[in-house]
Amino acid sequence: MSQLSVKHLLGIKDLTPKDIELILETAGQFKEVINRPIKKVPSLRDVTIANVFFENSTRTRLSFELAQKRLSADTINFSAAASSVKKGETLLDTVNNILAMKVDMIVMRHASVGAPHFLAKHINANIVNAGDGTHEHPTQALLDSFSIQEKLGSVAGKKICIFGDILHSRVALSNIFALQKQGAEVMVCGPSTLIPKFIGDLGVKVEFDLRKALLWCDVANVLRIQLERQTIKYFPTLREYSQYYGINKQLLDSLNKEIVIMHPGPINRGVELSSDVADSGHSIILDQVENGVAVRMAVLYLLAGNK
Ligand code: CP
């Protein structure tokens, strides 16, 4: 049986192209399973997984939990807001107490960059990074690649532009690594204040003009403005941001081309995307959410085989 080259999924940066291929291929098999009348397989019947979330989430947390249930794993959920973290317990003490209950795998979201990497040095269980601050969100990038492959036949050779708040986005960095490892061309587009200076060193194109970027790309992956991570003002007002970087139907129609619209969610409707684009035939946003379950099943299944 093929195996991943890693014990943990901390970031796309650590994966080989073969790892990504294996995860997407396995996700294809699980997508077939979750569309059957009986959506459950016994693959992880003896495995216990804790979802440890120190930051809010809708899609990622529910998708991991559903993936675990579809694989017949036992699953427990921890939310920092309702835990003894509020009484001062450390991250390592919290996780070690969870592991003492005979938990095999930790899925963790944390606001601090590198929190899952820190844990990986101190604990034995498999760790899946469900988003660490502004750093990486590997399963989001994998489900994005899976969705592009499903829609366009392949990722290799496609032109993908990531729009918006690149500076504060873990989705952007993980997508850049994943898409490049699969042979796509990648561009980022947004206001100069939201594009980090190092981005050119990663081999991506940088474009500040929304229309030019849309004319270039096959796929537009549109990101949310992360106001909760912005400590200073990066643009005058949301209205002005929307005027220069908001994608609406009138703009898309004027391009006279087919373009796939993606968004990791949650959407700020009327800011980076208008509703008539988010809900249009161009959009594969809800396919991304559906594919997230299959991709996370693949990640959990493959990591469980790499103890
Ligand atoms: N895409 C994503 O990470 O969404 P949530 O924050 O709702 O998990």
Residue 116 C-alpha to ligand 1 middle, in angstroms?
A: 17
Q: Which two tokens stand for residue 254?
A: 């004027």
5 falls within a domain: no
If asked whether residues 298 and 278 sit together in one domain, one would say no
If asked whether residues 76 and 142 sit together in one domain, one would say no
Report the CATH number that the domain containing residue 205 is assigned in CATH.
Answer: 3.40.50.1370
Instruction: Report the number of distinct structural domains present in the chain.
Output: 2
Cβ 164 vs Cβ 272: under 8 Å:
yes
Residue 60 C-alpha to ligand 1 middle, in angstroms?
A: 5
| Domain hosting residue 131, numbered range | 12-136+289-304
Cβ 273 vs Cβ 261: under 8 Å:
yes
If asked whether residues 147 and 169 sit together in one domain, one would say yes
Residue 207 C-alpha to ligand 1 middle, in angstroms?
A: 26
Tracing tokens 């309702």 back to the chain, one arrives at 82
**Residues 218-265: tens digit of each pLDDT:** 999 999 987 777 777 888 899 999 999 999 999 999 999 999 999 999
**Residues 93-122: tens digit of each pLDDT:** 999 999 999 999 999 999 999 999 999 999
If asked whether residues 26 and 39 sit together in one domain, one would say yes
21 falls within a domain: yes
Q: Which residue's CA lies nearest to atom 3 of ligand 1? A: 60
123 falls within a domain: yes
If asked whether residues 78 and 151 sit together in one domain, one would say no
Determine the atom of ligand 1 nearest the C-alpha atom of 58. 7
4 falls within a domain: no
Determine the atom of ligand 1 nearest the C-alpha atom of 55. 6
If asked whether residues 109 and 168 sit together in one domain, one would say no
191 falls within a domain: yes
If asked whether residues 44 and 28 sit together in one domain, one would say yes
If asked whether residues 244 and 298 sit together in one domain, one would say no
If asked whether residues 78 and 122 sit together in one domain, one would say yes
Residue 243 C-alpha to ligand 1 middle, in angstroms?
A: 25
What was the pLDDT predicted at 2? 82
Q: What is the pTM of this model?
A: 0.96
Residue 1 C-alpha to ligand 1 middle, in angstroms?
A: 32
Q: Which residue's CA lies nearest to atom 5 of ligand 1? A: 57
d(CA 166, CA 224): 9
37 falls within a domain: yes
What was the pLDDT predicted at 284? 98
3-state secondary structure the chain: CCCCCCCCECCHHHCCHHHHHHHHHHHHHHHHHHCCCCCCCCCCCCCEEEEEECCCCCHHHHHHHHHHHHCCCEEEEEEHHHCHHHHCCCHHHHHHHHHCCCCCEEEEEECCCCHHHHHHHHCCCEEEEEEECCCECHHHHHHHHHHHHHHHCCCCCCEEEEECCCCCCHHHHHHHHHHHHCCCEEEEECCHHHCCHHHHHHCCEEECCHHHHHHHCCEEEECCCCHHHCCCCCCCCHHHHHHHHCECHHHHHHHCCCCEEECCCCCCECCCECHHHHCCCCECHHHHHHHHHHHHHHHHHHHHCCC
**Residues 42-51: tens digit of each pLDDT:** 999 999 999 9
3 falls within a domain: no
If asked whether residues 183 and 121 sit together in one domain, one would say no
Determine the atom of ligand 1 nearest the C-alpha atom of 109. 8
268 falls within a domain: yes
User: Residue 199 pLDDT more than 90?
Assistant: yes
What was the pLDDT predicted at 203? 97
If asked whether residues 87 and 128 sit together in one domain, one would say yes
Among residues of the chain, what percentage have pLDDT more than 70? 100
Residue 254 C-alpha to ligand 1 middle, in angstroms?
A: 31
Mutate to test the pocket of ligand 1, among 51, 55, 58, 285 (most ligand atoms within 8 A of CB): 58
User: Residue 1 pLDDT more than 70?
Assistant: no
**Residues 124-182: tens digit of each pLDDT:** 999 999 999 999 999 999 999 999 999 999 999 999 999 999 999 999 999 999 999 99
Residue 61 C-alpha to ligand 1 middle, in angstroms?
A: 8
Mutate to test the pocket of ligand 1, among 51, 53, 56, 59 (most ligand atoms within 8 A of CB): 59
Q: Which two tokens stand for residue 292?
A: 């997230």
Instruction: Work out the mean pLDDT of the chain and round it to a whole number.
Output: 96
Among residues of the chain, what percentage have pLDDT more than 90? 93
Residue 196 C-alpha to ligand 1 middle, in angstroms?
A: 22
If asked whether residues 142 and 280 sit together in one domain, one would say yes
Which residues have any ligand 1 atom within 6 Å of their CB? Answer: 57-60, 131, 140, 264-266
d(CA 8, CA 137): 13
Determine the atom of ligand 1 nearest the C-alpha atom of 63. 8
